[in-house]
Chain A
């Protein structure tokens, strides 16, 4: 296990280094003028030049690269050209919303995915219906799912909210985790909890749908293979009920491929966050990144990219650990 952790840490450093270099190269080759974007197009040339000098954008590329890497190595993510705040502070503002959305979506994806997978593996008429749902659902792009949810659950049925994290007239609990669902419970503020809950359901479900379907399909296939194993036959011969066979003797052994798929899907879920946050006016990293791109706010883009890179690596690390739990042979590899 120790070796696994060490390998993952080394991989994370390599990924971050690679990301940092790629982001810098992109900054250098993209024909954009972030300083003009920052000060405004109509700004007089003298002010643009002064700002360019202040930010070091008039330095030769190699010097900028060395400065950039030195700053990153010391944990300095620079200052956003748009918000004028330290990027680290902006990330601390926006990341909790994304984390809460991603965790909720991951939980929904896991529960729905496992449910679908087991239902499919159990066979019967319900399985056939679910198979149709899986196929048709997998062809729905995330933004369309989001839109359908808004139209039905917000516009038609008035059940859920379509924008933001919480009703603007309710004061959001101020911490300690910055995750509104958790914080409102910790503060015993049920009104805030209910508002946050009704706000997060649609975006989380929109994000979770495709991963859930993929996890469900993979788990079902894996379960079907395991169900053909001798020890399962033995279990059935002992007279165990089918659901016990499925839950006690099949699920854990079939979970390896589903966990691998979860890692991939949760990574893709991070990619879908930008679109979902836009549609649901969710004040997270996706919104921050989108706004930063429009300004060519390279420090903000770099910071967000690196943070998402760390999240992706950590996520896969967690999946590795889960796989090691599910299959002890992996721990010794």
Chain B
């Protein structure tokens, strides 16, 4: 999954940065001001059993079979549930709508026992047939998340609460697909039957939900606000908050001021790292590991990085410890392997070591020293900062580096004209699930969606094709070999692993997070102290 920083037009980064910096300075960000004056003209202060959080931009659609962004995960995961999920803070798969499951020895058949007493928001009961209808709908809609169910050969419902899924071939990450935030969710009959229309309920699910989650989507006012209301018939513990108001606030500076003044309860992503050290007294920071990673893609389809020796010298030019420390101010750690930490045990280490002499020697081999570094802007400004730091590091080695901001749709198109693409590209990505295949297949595979510069190594493709159907122990070894091979090629550099940083009102407790669900807290677990 590409980290799509929501909604940046070309001219806005400078504005946002200036706005944030100026606002923070002028208001006395960190001066210990409190939220008592929050009841400003017409805006009631956050508090009580209503939770207010902002989004930087609209989510695409609240339809779990189409939604494939990051902004919006909170809505999907609060309104819908899948068969399995990840235990908080881990990549350990636990039951969600399934209480137990088994896998056949040949790994082709999965049998799920469904949780009794679960009701959809339309009031109807969860059954195995409803799960089958949901999964079939995902395949029929056939948008990006449909790939997770493509290996399914058949689905059987031997009784009301038992579901048997048979696969066409073993799929190593299949359970992780089911646990992914973009994985198959179970949708009720109100959407799939009553409001199905002629488009599998797509029109209905653009503004409604029919899941089994702890909250219902009771308002979807695009561009303005989404309202999640506690579902009284939820099978699990009753959430503390009766309502969650998600407001669209496209400027992080505005979000910061609203948080400081008590207009919102939390900022769940893109908080400028530089401002974390000077927070007002009414807010706190909770940091959690995530699988978000900062990568440097190298364009090997033109000079100078078509020369393996030249691109190998980048290992010596970049001091990733310093880079990550300066750019992320403690909210990131230098990468240690080709996979996000925790995804693959004992993965091969990265052989990067800053060495000025080697870096300069490599630059001397280059047929041209003029290179371009592209980055996609983000509201926090961190990718721009990394770009500038990289520019300085490479310039010290003898390169002449032009840094330019690019838009995501441009990045998607690079693979069609690599000669016109930048020489280097900074991107932050995350896997779809906590499984090495969901990372390697999109970043390292020759046709991978996040393989922006057309990295192609037949050996890697073959290893990945073999691994996906291999038994777990074999697969793990194969993914390690893939990592080794990718590191050797020096076409993708792994710079940093980024934490999920939540800045919240101090009275909020119960922050639970799953590394595979970026920018997302479990809203049902949140509480307000004294509430």
Interface residue ranges of B138-197 to A (CB < 8 Å):
142-144, 146-147, 150
Please, which residues of chain A bring their CB within 8 A of the CB of B38? 158
Interface segment among A29-37, A211-219, A254-262, A312-320: the answer is A29-37
Residue B420, interface by CB 8 Å = yes
Residue B322, interface by CB 8 Å = no
Residue B314, interface by CB 8 Å = no
Q: Which of A39, A199, A284, A293 interacts with B143 by CB under 8 Å?
A: A39
Q: Classify chain A: how many residues form its interface, as a range.
A: 35 or more
Residue pair B450, A42 in contact (C-beta under 8 Å)? yes
Please, which residues of chain B bring their CB within 8 A of the CB of A97? 223
Residue A155, interface by CB 8 Å = yes
Residue A166, interface by CB 8 Å = yes
Residue A163, interface by CB 8 Å = yes
Residue pair A163, B413 in contact (C-beta under 8 Å)? no
Residue pair A84, B60 in contact (C-beta under 8 Å)? yes
Please, which residues of chain A bring their CB within 8 A of the CB of B222? 83, 85, 90, 93-94, 283
Residue B303, interface by CB 8 Å = no
Least CB distance from B331 to A in Å reads 23
Residue pair A167, B43 in contact (C-beta under 8 Å)? yes
**Interchain CA distance A30-B420 in the complex, whole Å:** 12
Residue B23, interface by CB 8 Å = yes
Interface residue ranges of B12-56 to A (CB < 8 Å):
12, 15, 18-19, 22-23, 26-27, 37-44, 50, 52, 54
Residue B334, interface by CB 8 Å = no
> Given A93-B223, A296-B407, A280 and B40 touching (CB < 8 A)?
no
Residue pair B408, A162 in contact (C-beta under 8 Å)? no
The chain B residue sitting closest to A85, CB to CB, is: B206
**Interchain CA distance A36-B22 in the complex, whole Å:** 36
**Interchain CA distance A296-B4 in the complex, whole Å:** 13
Residue pair A36, B409 in contact (C-beta under 8 Å)? yes
Interface string of B406-445 (1 = CB under 8 A from A): 0111101100110010000000000010000000001000
Interface segment among B61-69, B112-120, B502-510: the answer is B61-69
Residue pair B223, A32 in contact (C-beta under 8 Å)? no
Please, which residues of chain B bring their CB within 8 A of the CB of A169? 44, 50, 245
> Given A36-B409, A163-B249, A143 and B416 touching (CB < 8 A)?
no
Least CB distance from A200 to B in Å reads 10
Residue pair B9, A294 in contact (C-beta under 8 Å)? yes
Interface residue ranges of A80-96 to B (CB < 8 Å):
82-85, 90, 93-94
Residue pair A155, B412 in contact (C-beta under 8 Å)? no
> Given A34-B409, A279-B19, A279-B254, A165 and B2 touching (CB < 8 A)?
no
Looking at A94, A278, A287, the one whose CB has the most chain B CB atoms below 10 A away is: A278
Residue pair B6, A291 in contact (C-beta under 8 Å)? yes
Residue pair B144, A39 in contact (C-beta under 8 Å)? yes
Residue pair A147, B409 in contact (C-beta under 8 Å)? no
Q: Which of A83, A159, A161, A296 interacts with B409 by CB under 8 Å?
A: A296
Q: Which of B15, B221, B420 interacts with A275 by CB under 8 Å?
A: B15
Residue A198, interface by CB 8 Å = yes
Residue pair B15, A162 in contact (C-beta under 8 Å)? no
**Interchain CA distance A45-B448 in the complex, whole Å:** 8
Least CB distance from A170 to B in Å reads 8
Residue A28, interface by CB 8 Å = no
Please, which residues of chain A bring their CB within 8 A of the CB of B143? 39, 43, 47, 51
Residue pair B247, A163 in contact (C-beta under 8 Å)? yes
Residue pair A84, B61 in contact (C-beta under 8 Å)? yes
> Given A162-B258, A169-B245, A294-B57, A84 and B413 touching (CB < 8 A)?
no
Cross-chain pair count, CB within 8 angstroms: 231
The chain B residue sitting closest to A31, CB to CB, is: B413
Please, which residues of chain B bring their CB within 8 A of the CB of A82? 58, 60
Residue pair A42, B223 in contact (C-beta under 8 Å)? no
Please, which residues of chain B bring their CB within 8 A of the CB of A150? 23, 254, 257
**Interchain CA distance A234-B209 in the complex, whole Å:** 74
Q: Which of B147, B260, B263 interacts with A163 by CB under 8 Å?
A: B263
Q: Classify chain B: how many residues form its interface, as a range.
A: 35 or more
Q: Which of B10, B19, B60 interacts with A143 by CB under 8 Å?
A: B19
> Given A40-B449, A41-B2, A167 and B407 touching (CB < 8 A)?
no
Q: Which of B37, B202, B412, B447 interacts with A36 by CB under 8 Å?
A: B412
Least CB distance from B105 to A in Å reads 29
The chain B residue sitting closest to A32, CB to CB, is: B409
Q: Which of A37, A43, A166 interacts with B408 by CB under 8 Å?
A: A37
Residue A295, interface by CB 8 Å = yes
The chain B residue sitting closest to A150, CB to CB, is: B257
Least CB distance from B227 to A in Å reads 8
Please, which residues of chain A bring their CB within 8 A of the CB of B12? 275, 278, 290
Residue A44, interface by CB 8 Å = yes
Residue pair B263, A162 in contact (C-beta under 8 Å)? yes
**Interchain CA distance A40-B43 in the complex, whole Å:** 36
Residue B92, interface by CB 8 Å = no
Residue pair B449, A33 in contact (C-beta under 8 Å)? no
Please, which residues of chain A bring their CB within 8 A of the CB of B412? 32-33, 36-37, 41
Residue A154, interface by CB 8 Å = yes
Looking at A31, A195, A275, the one whose CB has the most chain B CB atoms below 10 A away is: A31
The chain B residue sitting closest to A93, CB to CB, is: B222
**Interchain CA distance A148-B155 in the complex, whole Å:** 60
**Interchain CA distance A194-B44 in the complex, whole Å:** 13
Residue B248, interface by CB 8 Å = yes
> Given A32-B413, A94-B223, A281-B249, A42 and B18 touching (CB < 8 A)?
no
Q: Which of A32, A45, A84, A159 interacts with B40 by CB under 8 Å?
A: A159
Residue A274, interface by CB 8 Å = yes
Least CB distance from A275 to B in Å reads 7
Residue B8, interface by CB 8 Å = yes
Residue B224, interface by CB 8 Å = yes
The chain B residue sitting closest to A38, CB to CB, is: B60
Residue B250, interface by CB 8 Å = yes
Q: Which of B10, B150, B257, B447 interacts with A162 by CB under 8 Å?
A: B257
Please, which residues of chain B bring their CB within 8 A of the CB of A295? 408-409
The chain B residue sitting closest to A37, CB to CB, is: B409
Residue pair B68, A42 in contact (C-beta under 8 Å)? yes
Residue pair A164, B19 in contact (C-beta under 8 Å)? no
Residue pair A154, B449 in contact (C-beta under 8 Å)? no
Residue pair A288, B223 in contact (C-beta under 8 Å)? yes
Please, which residues of chain B bring their CB within 8 A of the CB of A51? 143
Residue A186, interface by CB 8 Å = no
Q: Which of A44, A93, A168 interacts with B247 by CB under 8 Å?
A: A168
Interface string of A195-213 (1 = CB under 8 A from B): 1111100000000000000
Q: Can you name 5 A-B residue pairings with CB atoms under 8 Å?
A: A42-B2, A43-B144, A154-B261, A155-B27, A163-B263
Contacts beyond the supplied A143-B19, A167-B42: 13 A-B pairs with Cβ under 8 Å: A31-B416, A40-B69, A42-B1, A47-B143, A84-B206, A151-B23, A151-B26, A158-B261, A162-B40, A167-B43, A278-B15, A279-B251, A280-B254
Residues of B within 8 A of A (CB): 1-2, 4, 6-10, 12, 15, 18-19, 22-23, 26-27, 37-44, 50, 52, 54, 57-58, 60-61, 66, 68-69, 142-144, 146-147, 150, 202, 206, 221-225, 245, 247-251, 253-254, 257-258, 260-261, 263, 407-410, 412-413, 416-417, 420, 432, 442, 447-450
> 10 tightest A-B contacts by CB?
A296-B409, A198-B41, A40-B68, A43-B144, A32-B409, A283-B223, A36-B412, A195-B42, A41-B2, A198-B42
